[in-house]
Amino acid sequence: MAAQGGLVTHAQVLESGLRPAQATQLRRSGDLVRLVRGVYADGELWRSLDEHVGRPLLRARAALMSKQRTWVMSHDSAALVMGMPLIDARSSDAHLTRPGYGTAWTRHGIAHHYAPYADHQLVTTSLGERHLDAARTVADLGREHGELAALVAADWALRHGSSKARLIEASLPMAHWPGICGVRSAIQRADPRAESAAESLARDLLQEMGIGEVDQQFPILPGGRLYWCDLRVGNHVFEVFGRIKLVPVADGGVATRSPTEVALDDKRRQRAIRDEDLGLSEITWEDFFGPGRAAAQARLRADYLTTERRFGRDLHPRLARQAAELRERHGRRDRER
């Protein structure tokens, strides 16, 4: 199990010398957890994993282990292996692809796909597991889940070394496949400056409002301290607030300080942005979907129009010059907060 990332097949359990009754007892006690037919996970490992990434990824790896070597991980499963963000991995099936042509089908939580792919699109992990690469996965996610899923994936792919040319190349053989129009649109709109799925979705939210060109990772230098604002339209800044900023790294978040310190620093950041004669609004994950989306857009539009009346529609020349100088000096920013 240690050599297989915490997974073991039913055949391997019996080959170890355990009788079927003993294997059944291990499952009942929770020492083994069945993920897919014929593959178990270490119970302690399974219980330690989060439901957003850890568990869906282990299910995907178990699905691959249950199949013959001609299958490779694709779609949601390939994204999880690479660390590519999904909008909601909790609802994801395990996805496997093998070369060929035919219809896809889903059985027992495993989505099976027959589709051709190029040799250079195949990646092998340190555990010997095979999955399709980032460019191909952008196209697969878009066709499976829609344009927003492809947009989030494409932003990530560009941020991690892919080019738009590679994304387009991966989508070209799919010219007549269902869902390809959304993939093309997402690739055209993709921006590597989005640092998370939430920032990608926030950019889409603002673009849909049509209030102006959305600038991502806008730098300011109040009091000599460099801040990178998430998104900006005109003289108004839109900051994406997520709970992940308050969750410690050990628990799957990004916080390296206490929640109190993070919250206080965020307040200082908001004050610094407003002191630059910029308006400010916050966007949360709940603003992206369902009835909350329209309500959020109404609120954000009102905030933006208030800023426009106070400071004008176009970015102040001083801030525009300063931003150009800071970007020239620092390039794409590191995660400094």
CATH classification of the domain holding 298: 3.40.960.10
Helix (H, G, I), strand (E, B), or coil: what is residue 106?
A: strand
Among 171, 189, 207, residue at a domain's last position:
189
H-helix segments, the chain: 10-15, 20-29, 43-48, 54-65, 75-82, 134-145, 147-159, 164-171, 180-189, 197-209, 259-275, 291-311, 317-330
- CA separation, residue 244 to residues 48, 229, 249, 262, 317 (Å): 18, 17, 9, 11, 34
Arithmetic mean of pLDDT over the chain: 92
Give the per-residue pLDDT at 102.
75
One domain, residues 212 and 185: no
Give the per-residue pLDDT at 104.
86
- Is 59 part of a structural domain of the chain? no
- Is 24 part of a structural domain of the chain? yes
Give the per-residue pLDDT at 195.
92
Q: What is the mean pLDDT of residues 226-255?
A: 78
One domain, residues 225 and 304: yes
**pTM greater than 0.85 (yes/no):** yes
pLDDT tens digits, 148-171:
999 999 999 999 999 999 999 999
Confidence of residue 265 (pLDDT cuts 50, 70, 90): confident
User: Is the CB of residue 80 less than 8 Å from the CB of residue 89?
Assistant: yes
- Is 335 part of a structural domain of the chain? no
Give the domain range for residue 31. 1-48
Give the per-residue pLDDT at 333.
61
Q: What is the mean pLDDT of residues 332-336?
A: 52
Give the per-residue pLDDT at 335.
44
pLDDT tens digits, 59-83:
999 999 999 889 999 999 999 999 9
Angle between helices 75-82 and 54-65 (to 10 degrees): 120
User: Is the CB of residue 76 less than 8 Å from the CB of residue 138?
Assistant: no
